[in-house]
Amino acid sequence: MSHAMNTIATRLKALKTLAHAAPHVPAQDWPDTPHAQFERWLDEAVNAGAVEPQVMTLSTVRPDGRPDARSVVLLNVDARGWHFAASTRSPKGRQLENRPYAALTFYWPAIASQIRLSGPVERLPAAEGRADFAGRPERSRASILAGRQSERLDDPADLTRAIDAQLARLAADPALASDDWHLYALAPDEAEFWRADSARRFARQAYRRAGQRWERCALWP
């Protein structure tokens, strides 16, 4: 085991970090809200060819206090917050019902940047969840309808049969929807934007909500 771990350590050390960092982090005219700054960096990431920049890490808390995390897709950003979808029957859905606070993390190597957001999460109106469900590919809808996310799967054939059964239901009733599928919005009360240059000079800016406005400050790396 020790030899294997040493081999992994050697391989990891050989990998380049911050491969796409610019020589200098340019000075920025920071906007008044993290929403505007997020949109600015998202555009930069897309233009730089970032792979799936809409994928983010959603961190929640289990009932026993242990953290839990997974990758989800960002669906929208508006005045209500950063939107994502989940089933209320899934672990993340149950965790959010039990403790409606979460954190989101984006890391875009293409621009050597990270964004962290944290705050309360609210479930959006059911009509928005239904619209999101209806807009998904048929097989995605069948998988959602089959449910049982994160339950033990003893036989892969059981999954195939469950999805096939839901595909048959959708063929008979294309308007079929899941009552458990919802959109959520994380409304951050804290946001942090981090960027590195090739000389390992890190620039960090934090936004913190103060009533109806945002306070912003630089942070030590």
According to the annotation, is 28 in a ligand binding site?
A: no
Residue 204 annotated as part of some ligand binding site: yes
* DSSP state string for 9-38: HHHHHTS-SSTT-BSS-------SSHHHHH
CA-based radius of gyration for the chain: 21
In the chain, the N- to C-terminal Cα span, in Å, equals 35
The owner of tokens 């019902």 is 97
Cβ pair 209, 188 in contact under 8 A: yes
Closest CA to 207 of 44, 11, 35: 35
Q: What is the DSSP letter of 136?
A: S
pTM score of the predicted model: 0.91
Range scoring the smallest mean pLDDT among 41-45, 148-152, 170-174: 148-152
pLDDT for 41:
97
Residue percentage of the chain with pLDDT more than 70: 97
Q: Is 194 annotated as a binding residue?
A: yes
Task: Calculate the average pLDDT of the chain.
Answer: 94
Where b means 16+ CB within 10 Å and e means fewer, 167-206 reads beebeeeeeebbebbbbbbbebeebbbbbbbeeeebbbbb
Is 214 marked within a binding site? no
- Position 198 confidence tier, pLDDT thresholds 50, 70, 90: confident
Q: Is residue 5's pLDDT more than 80?
A: no
Q: Decide: 146 and 160 in contact? Cβ < 8 Å.
A: no
CB 205 within 8 A of CB 31: no
Mean pLDDT of 43-58: 98
**How confident is residue 111, by pLDDT bands cut at 50, 70 and 90?**
very high
Decide which of 1.10.1740.10, 1.10.1200.10, 2.30.110.10, 3.40.190.10 is the CATH code for 16-137+179-219: 2.30.110.10
| pLDDT computed for residue 29 by the predictor | 85
Read off the pLDDT of residues 184-197 as tens digits, 9 standing for 90 and up: 999 999 999 999 98
pLDDT tens by residue, 16-31: 999 998 877 767 789 9
Is residue 212 part of an annotated ligand binding site? no
- Mean pLDDT, range 56-71, rounded to an integer: 98
Give the confidence band of 35 by pLDDT, cuts at 50, 70, 90: very high
**Span 84-102, average pLDDT:** 97
Pairwise CA distance, residues 104 & 91, whole Å: 16
Q: What pLDDT does residue 3 have?
A: 64
Across 69-79, average pLDDT? 98
Q: Does the annotation list 37 as a binding residue?
A: no
Q: For the stretch 1-27, what's the b/e string if a residue is b when 16 or more beta carbons lie within 10 angstroms of its beta carbon?
A: eeeeeeeeeeeeeeeeeeebbeeebee
User: Which structure tokens are listed for 141?
Assistant: 């809808």
